[in-house]
Structure 1
């Protein structure tokens, strides 16, 4: 399902009058009094997160921009450089005509590229909105770039909706960029400028271009898998046992002798030799150009992962699994993070109906729960057991929560998560 596009201007609203209203709303809300109108839910939630973290709206933390060498390293590792030609072609003319800047940030909200006309760039310089600067919520408060990455949805933030005092004269519209196959968060693309340049269609344009960029990534990935598949076909035909060929990202290109998953989570430091993959068991890894040959040795249940870390403290939920062959990590969808969190809160296990209540507030939605747990088990293998659903008793699970816990999975509406944000434990 596509994420909702969060525009800052209500339909038919006068931009100038709305800007003045937002200033009054912000002033009242941050002072703890009753505002003349309620802020948008996504903005109100962000203000509460930032206030809870103790960020001073008049004095943002002094985080130095990245130096030149570090900026270039992050650009090279971000996976975003191939998208720049498309982003520039579709958005830079709009930015220049509107008096705005085009900004691309990485998953840590560091500004990797910023382009626009000289006038607006000078204004951005005075704000500290420069290449290498940090633009996450913890550093500068509510803003389209940082907040869109927190909630995982395109977002426009206008004038008084910004938390920081110095951002009041600005308007911005940002959309997250994900790898369409692995789901990995790459960063975000944004158009920002003086508040007078606000337009309700800007966020729709930015979101559409972001989705187009992700389609380009998908096409490039498909071509890469096809090249690896052509290389793998004659190799697999000569092997006597089950094996599969995967890309460097773990996506399956070809397999023989088994029903292979679409993607195999690989250890962070994968190398030639024995390798334990939770969904497959023990394998022998052999390097190929652009990927790996994994030969299964038939001991899928002989050794189980020893430890699992469910990390919910960072900008995106991740799971890290430790076993005899090393450690691998993978990003989690919001739903899979919610499921693991529910199982962590219930060591004795949860039924499908119990999980449906945790996730949806409706114990009847067991079909959806079973499908999601099935997909999760294809990734984690023996980590998750069934009947009832639970973390395997031989696996040590550690859950890392954000501080404060009110920042837990901001995009989640699961009753389980809402209870935990309030500090209420999950019922048995």
Structure 2
């Protein structure tokens, strides 16, 4: 009876393997689309990675390109933050892999393999698919694979045999966990175990995860004492009005620097200002677009933004501001909370990121505009009402123009202007 059950399980496994390979062949040939992949026994993580791999032009019949030159690889290794943690990795993983058919790979954050150690026989076989130091094993270069996809998603990943996008890698399974800078949360690279089917097990994942934690603790203990440069002035962000958003920073040595931000980067900064506790990539994606954004896109945008403003300002896991950033938006909200409407008007040069269609920005824009308008109308000060109505968003504010017309302090000229504006508004509705 036991033999019958074992035979049945093996037959089911072969059938499942065949269905995965068949689905992959049809997908890369363009005969089926992503929706078809949901009908086969594949994790969503894998199917989404296949779609990214195909979209970025990965060749399913080729491995990575030639490895980096020895001199270049030596420079990469010597300057990499994980170099000092190699004794930890070797003690926890490599020492147990020398006769097990398993390889331990350590990559940089861009997917470049820095070290490959472990079973010598497995190493010779893996070299035929260019799984060697210096080769690019990022997802954009090789398609779905554990170290590359772990870096693309910034999460631990297991890929089994035929789940790989590249057919050359199908004989192997792998488990990878990303490593992060313990201070800033910046991805440093990944640790990967590559071998037979047993490598993609829960026990292997627990082992690699524990090693990653040990490596991050090691890096934290050996961090230089002075890790952040002193800043001369607080960073400041302009988000209100029609002008392009700008982030101003001062480092105390080179004076003030101005970074003109793209619309997406300005949206992200505005949301980080309103969420000092931090935001995950999933949460950011939902706040920026309820339908079309995925975490890979968010991580790519965050990577670009951090290259512009510096890792000392924004950290990850979750994404958050490492120091206080002033802003015209923050000043306006603070003044309203304090009941200082004149100061709020001084800070308010127009709507928050008026070109943004992000749902969370639209809600924040409406909150600030509505709060300020309500405060101005309730206060009743003529000069504040006049300043509000001079803003583009108040041109159609009939209640505001009526309040100006009826204000006891308004002179004949002001009343005449308000009356003309009201007549024009009513004619538009006729």
Fold match, TM over 0.5?
Answer: yes
Contact 1:149 1:315 in 2 (8 A): no
Q: How far 1:30 sits from its partner (Å)? A: 4.7
The whole-number CA distance in structure 1 between the counterparts of 2:217 and 2:108 is 18
Report the CA distance between 1:393 and its aligned residue.
7.2
**Is 1:278 the equivalent of 2:235?**
yes
Instruction: Return the structure number with greater helix share.
Output: 2
1:65 is the counterpart of 2:67 = yes
- 2:102 and 2:193 in contact (8 A); partners too: yes
Deviation at 1:215, TM superposition (A): 1.2
Q: Indicate the larger mover: 380-389 or 176-185.
A: 380-389
1:308 and 1:321 in contact (8 A); partners too = no
Tell me how far 1:59 sits from its aligned partner: 3.0
Deviation string for 1:257-314 (max 9, x for gaps)? xxxxxxx6x7xxxxxxxx655169655349xxxxxxxxxxxx9xxx683423549684
CA distance in 2, matches of 1:148, 1:77: 22
Residue ranges of structure 2 left out of the alignment (5+ in a row): 1-7, 237-247, 266-296, 335-347, 361-430
Contact 2:139 2:149 in 1 (8 A): yes
- Consecutive unaligned residues of structure 1, counting only runs of 5 or more, are 1-12, 226-246, 251-263, 267-274, 287-298, 337-374, 398-413, 417-428
Q: Determine the structure 2 residue equivalent to 1:269.
A: none
What secondary structure does 2:93 align onto?
Answer: helix
Aligned residues of 1:308 and 1:320 also touching (Cα < 8 A) = no
- 1:333 pairs, out of 309, 316, 332, with 316
* CA pair 167-329 structure 1, distance change in 2 beyond 3 A: same
Which of 321, 337, 354 is the matching residue for 1:376?
321
State whether structure 2 residue 28 is matched by structure 1 residue 25. Answer: no
User: Which of 112, 115, 139 is the aligned partner of 2:114?
Assistant: 112
2:305 maps to: 319
Partner of 1:141: 143
Out of 95, 105, 109, the residue aligned to residue 97 of structure 2 is 95
Q: 1:15 to 1:88 in 2, by over 3 A?
A: farther
Change (3 A) 1:23 1:164: farther
Name the counterpart of 1:411: none
Q: Which digits, 9 at most, give the CA deviation of each residue in 1:187-233, with x for residues without a partner?
A: 00111013365533111110111011111122223xx43xxxxxxxx
TM-align CA RMSD: 4.0
1:14 positional shift: 6.0
Instruction: State how far apart, in whole Å, the 2-side matches of 1:26 and 1:249 are.
Output: 50
Q: For 2:195 and 2:141, how far apart are their aligned partners in 1?
A: 19
Which of 256, 260, 263 is equivalent to 1:307? Answer: 260
Corresponding residue for residue 43 of structure 1 = 46
**Contact 2:111/2:148 (<8 A) preserved:** yes
Q: Which moved more, 1:26-35 or 1:96-105?
A: 26-35
Larger radius of gyration: 2
Change (3 A) 1:393 1:174: farther
Question: Aligned equivalents of 2:101 and 2:75: distance in 1?
Answer: 30
Once the two structures are superposed, the pairs formed by residues 70-85 of structure 1 within 5 Å of their partners are 70-85=72-87
Aligned position for 2:133: 131
1:84 alignment partner, SS class: helix
Q: Counterpart of 1:175 in 2: which secondary structure? A: strand
Deviation at 1:111, TM superposition (A): 0.6
SS of the residue aligned with 1:317?
Answer: helix
- Indicate the structure with greater strand content: 1
Per-residue CA distance 1:3-48 (angstroms, 9 max, x = gap): xxxxxxxxxx968854652442242155145466341011111111
Q: Secondary structure at the match of 1:142?
A: coil
Deviation (angstroms), 1:384: 6.3
Secondary structure in 2 aligned to 1:319? helix
- Seen in structure 2, the aligned counterparts of structure 1 residues 305 and 176 have a Cα distance that, compared at 3 Å, is same
- Contact between 2:157 and 2:177, CA under 8 Å: does it hold in 1? yes
Contact 2:143 2:164 in 1 (8 A): yes
8 Å Cα contact 1:318/1:329 also seen in 2: no
Distance (Å, rounded) in 2 between the aligned partners of 1:187 and 1:249: 21
Question: Structure 2 CA distance, aligned partners of 1:282 and 1:198?
Answer: 48
Alignment of 1:192-341 (within 5 A): 192-195=194-197, 198-221=200-223, 224-225=224-225, 247-250=226-229, 278=235, 282=250, 284-285=252-253, 305-308=258-261, 310=265, 314=300, 317-319=303-305, 328=310, 332-333=315-316, 336=319
SS in 2 for 1:114: strand
The change in CA–CA distance for 1:283 and 1:162 in structure 2 (over 3 A counts) is closer
